[in-house]
Structure 1
Amino acid sequence: MDTATGHHADPPAAPAPDWRGGVRPYEVGDPGRAAANVVPVPDPAGWDRRDTVLDGFVLLDGPKKPIAEVRAASVRGLSHRHYGRVRQDEYGFRRTDDGRYFVIGVADGVSSGPMSHKAAIYAARWATAKLAAALASTEPQGFPWGAFVRSVANRIERRGRELLGREDADLREVAGHLATTVLYAVVDLRPVDGAHTVHLLSIGDTSAWVLRDGKRWEPQAAVKNDGAELHSGSVHALPVPPPAEPVAVRTTVAPGEALAVVTDGVGDPLGHGTGAVGAFLADAWAVPPASALDFAAQVGFARKSFDDDRTAVAFWPVART
């Protein structure tokens, strides 16, 4: 008590905590009720399948000579968390042994197939390693994409028969149990006039985007359901080979820009890149997020009506000095 005034003295202020940080989920517009109410449940048949995986690193051209920043994350969607099903998305990446190319594979297992995550693993990991090895003897502009895609389809088909325990299972039966879309990106790490050439090959609705000027999303293929009166969820997926010879798309990405390869869990809400989700991701990814944890939280943003698995691999070139 203050003897002069007769009032109790205020207690001393608590010292500031000797730590900083915190995690708050990202929301874009109306997050919907599921974002707060879903209780994640594990898949009893998939204990070794992680809910969320993430990576973040720098590609170097020698000591203290960065070429690019890379962030990657795959996040189980609210629907799969609620119903106790594994994450069906997958990503993979490799730098070729000679250091020339960075190869990305992003795959989205078809939800109707109970083992589609296994197809996505082959398409994203095994096939990306195979592609990186093949680039040792073939440049991207002359790469035999059709033969490569057929080899990936055949590998998934063979694995499907093994999992089903039926060597006589036909292709359609296998595809009903495990199927996946996929997109491959081959980035030339040797820039020309400051820009990196990128070759993109897509099977299905996994998509690639370039963020120009830190604010404008440029799709590298036709936007899903663009101009359609009714939304369609049907996509082509491996192991069924594409009906026509696949053709790679060529683009560039330069310092101040970003390449993002995403599954439809990100691509669908992104739309044409001009709405609220496009603005959010442009702000978030104008420069590389500070950590892979930040990037994963951004990939897992909450938005009403979008509850699919989310996967993104992003590449930010660094200006040469």
Structure 2
Amino acid sequence: MSTVQSNWDGLPVVGYPDADGVPTDVFPLPAEVPVDIPEVPGRHRAEHFESEPPAWAGQYLPYSVGEPGRAATEVVSVPDPENWHRRDSVIDGFVVRPEGGPPLAEVRAASLRGLSHRAYGRTRQDEYAYQLTPDGRHLVLCVADGLSSGSWSHYAAEVAARTGVTLLVNALAHTEPAELDWDRLMREVAGHIVAFARKRVPGGAELEVSEVAEWMSTTAVYAVAALGDEVMDVHVGSVGDSSAWVLAEPGWVPMADVKNADADVHSSAVGALPLVPAQPVVRRHAQVAPGEVLVLMSDGVGDPLHNGTGEVGRFLAHSWRNPPDDLAFAAQVGFHKRSYDDDRTVVAVWPLPRLPR
């Protein structure tokens, strides 16, 4: 059985003292002392700013899809005083190029604290992780979404994402993706969440699994993308409503049943670790070719996306046909839409065409 050891202690606090600034009028120069200030070309001359174009370009406007809602402009973001070292926003963008070889894929990832958590001073409870196997054959990904009902659910999401990805990387050393035991993976991840809680929750040594779930629970979606061929073979396993999609020419193709797709009344009830599902994890498989995108997301994006045919689906499809700049990607993940104020997390992979040798 694979094991993972993690140091979950916080990093030491590093202080950044303010520099002492002295106002210029505290020690004024005597009037009788001449002050010779050389003229700097263009400085203090209004015509300079009028006649020369600025040496910069660009602007930023938040993305909105439909009605953004009042929260988009009225929420005042406040930090979580219990989680100073957990960041509001995490962003990554890179090319997968094993051992200096040709580029095989582009990856973008972003996890953003939602408007609700910003307003109420609660930490971001989503997490993502990724890792390339040592042989460079597979890219392993995860998006995890801690349930807001548990005050420590962000820890559950961290364990599910980081430990789960490491367990998959270890398993792929001797198992092909099609043969992965997803049920065993979920049990092992659940066990790590329980072990964490029993060690770190006050008085947690005797907690039952159901009691751990009240403190910390998380959904998780994992993907293993094979990089050997131009068309990526992708295998997915998940618990809960974090989802995996393929963005292809026809549009959004879900790799699992769409949440509340046919329900007259939408439900927010989801399965979540450390409670292991009673039913076996359903194996999902897809192929993703150059020009298409593999997308893993938490329900903060999945819920407004729904089945991909609405305005959110059209907006994201237009934005992600090609890999955007990583900061632009994060801004797109954080689009405003009325009543959707949950944390937002997306990991996207664009397979690249292979150049002829």
TM-score past 0.5 threshold: yes
CA distance in 2 between counterparts of 1:14 and 1:129 reads 58
CA distance in 2 between counterparts of 1:155 and 1:20 reads 48
- Length-normalised TM-score, structure 1: 0.93
Give the CA RMSD over aligned residues: 1.4
CA distance in 2 between counterparts of 1:237 and 1:227 reads 22
Aligned AA (1:179): S
Aligned AA (1:181): T
**Residue 211 of structure 2 is aligned to residue 173 of structure 1:** yes
2:347 aligns with 313
Match of 2:221 among 177, 180, 183: 183
Question: For the pair shown, which has the larger CA radius of gyration, 1 or 2?
Answer: 2
Which consecutive unaligned segments of at least 5 residues does structure 2 have? Answer: 1-45
CA distance in 1 between counterparts of 2:322 and 2:133 reads 25
1:262 aligns with 297
**SS of alignment partner, residue 68 of structure 2:** coil
**SS of alignment partner, residue 167 of structure 1:** helix
**SS of alignment partner, residue 151 of structure 1:** helix
2:69 aligns with 32
Match of 1:102 among 131, 134, 139: 139
Give the superposition deviation at 1:292. Answer: 1.2
Which consecutive unaligned segments of at least 5 residues does structure 1 have? Answer: 1-9
1:146 aligns with 183
Aligned AA (2:135): D
**Residue 338 of structure 2 is aligned to residue 304 of structure 1:** yes
CA distance in 2 between counterparts of 1:11 and 1:108 reads 54
Cα offsets for 1:68-110 (capped at 9, x unmatched)? 1000000000000000000000000000000000000110000
Match of 1:53 among 85, 90, 104: 90
Give the superposition deviation at 1:166. Answer: 2.3
Give the superposition deviation at 1:126. Answer: 1.6
**SS of alignment partner, residue 51 of structure 2:** coil
Structure 1 residue ranges, 4+ long, deviating more than 4 angstroms after superposition: 61-64
Aligned AA (1:317): P
Seen in structure 2, the aligned counterparts of structure 1 residues 64 and 131 have a Cα distance that, compared at 3 Å, is closer
1:134 aligns with 171
**SS of alignment partner, residue 298 of structure 1:** helix
Give the superposition deviation at 1:66. Answer: 1.0
**SS of alignment partner, residue 110 of structure 2:** strand
Give the superposition deviation at 1:19. Answer: 1.1
In the TM superposition, what are the counterparts of 1:78-97 in structure 2 within 5 Å? 78-97=115-134
CA distance in 2 between counterparts of 1:14 and 1:174 reads 66
2:259 aligns with 224
Seen in structure 2, the aligned counterparts of structure 1 residues 67 and 45 have a Cα distance that, compared at 3 Å, is same
Match of 1:274 among 309, 318, 325: 309
Give the superposition deviation at 1:232. Answer: 0.3
CA distance in 1 between counterparts of 2:139 and 2:283 reads 16
Aligned AA (1:168): E
2:240 aligns with 204
2:17 aligns with none
**Residue 277 of structure 2 is aligned to residue 242 of structure 1:** yes
Give the superposition deviation at 1:62. Answer: 5.5
Identity %: 52
Aligned residues: 308
**SS of alignment partner, residue 291 of structure 2:** coil
